[in-house]
Structure 1
Amino acid sequence: MKFDYHTHHDRCGHAEDCIRAYIEAAIENHLDMIGISDHSPYLYSEEDHLFPGIAMAKSHFPQYIKEVIQLKEEYQGKIEVLLGVESDFFPEHVEMYRQYYEQFPLDYIIGSVHHVTGLSIFKRKRWEGLTEKQKHETKETYYGLIEQSAKSGIFQILGHIDAMKGYYPAFSTIQTEAVDKTLKTISQYEIAIEINTSGKNKDCGGWYPADELLERALFHGVAVTFGSDAHTPKRVGDEFEEVQKRLKEIGFREWAYFRNKKRYMTDL
Structure 2
Amino acid sequence: MLVDYHVHVVAHGEYHYREEWLNQYLDRAQQRGVQAIGLVEHDQFKERIDWRLIEALKRTDLHIAAGLEIDFVPGREESIKRMIDQHPLDFVMGSVHFINDWAFDHPDHRAGFDALDIDQVYSDYYVLIDKLVKSRLFDIIGHLDLIKIWGHRPIKKDSLQHVQPILHSIKASPMVIEINSAGLRKPVQEMYPCRQIIEKM
Give me the TM-score of the superposition, normalised by structure 1: 0.66
| Residues 161-183 of structure 1: per-residue CA shift (max 9 Å, x gap) | 1111111x232555164321211
1:192-231 correspondence runs (5 A): 192-217=176-201
Higher RCO (C-alpha 8 Å, min separation 6): 1
Choose the corresponding residue for 2:42, options 39, 42, 52: 39
1:125-144 correspondence runs (5 A): 125-130=111-116, 134-144=117-127
**Shift of residue 117, structure 1, vs aligned partner:** 2.3
**Shift of residue 145, structure 1, vs aligned partner:** 0.8
1:11 to 1:166, Cα distance in 2 relative to 1, 3 A: closer
Task: Provide the rounded CA distance (Å) in 2 between the counterparts of 1:199 and 1:161.
Answer: 11
| Residues 3-37 of structure 1: per-residue CA shift (max 9 Å, x gap) | 11111113632569832221111111122111111
**Shift of residue 147, structure 1, vs aligned partner:** 1.1
Structure-2 residue corresponding to 1:9: 9
Structure-1 residue corresponding to 2:104: 121
Q: Does 1:190 align with 2:178?
A: no
- Corresponding letter in the other structure for 2:8: H
Structure-2 residue corresponding to 1:68: 54
Cα root mean square deviation, aligned: 2.1
- Corresponding letter in the other structure for 1:208: Y
Give me the TM-score of the superposition, normalised by structure 2: 0.87
Structure-1 residue corresponding to 2:24: 21
Q: State the secondary structure of the residue aligned to 2:76.
A: helix
| Residues 179-203 of structure 1: per-residue CA shift (max 9 Å, x gap) | 2121121111011111100001111
Task: Provide the rounded CA distance (Å) in 1 between the counterparts of 2:136 and 2:90.
Answer: 14
Q: State the secondary structure of the residue aligned to 2:67.
A: strand
Structure 2 unaligned blocks of 5 or more: none
Structure-1 residue corresponding to 2:147: 164
Task: Provide the rounded CA distance (Å) in 2 between the counterparts of 1:209 and 1:126.
Answer: 22
Task: Provide the rounded CA distance (Å) in 2 between the counterparts of 1:9 and 1:153.
Answer: 26
Structure-2 residue corresponding to 1:146: 129
Aligned length: 193
Choose the corresponding residue for 1:81, options 39, 55, 64: 64
Task: Provide the rounded CA distance (Å) in 2 between the counterparts of 1:6 and 1:162.
Answer: 16
Q: State the secondary structure of the residue aligned to 1:4.
A: strand
Task: Provide the rounded CA distance (Å) in 2 between the counterparts of 1:66 and 1:10.
Answer: 16
Task: Provide the rounded CA distance (Å) in 1 between the counterparts of 2:84 and 2:153.
Answer: 32
Contact 2:118 2:155 in 1 (8 A): no
Structure 1 unaligned blocks of 5 or more: 42-55, 218-268
Task: Provide the rounded CA distance (Å) in 2 between the counterparts of 1:174 and 1:206.
Answer: 21
1:126 to 1:68, Cα distance in 2 relative to 1, 3 A: same
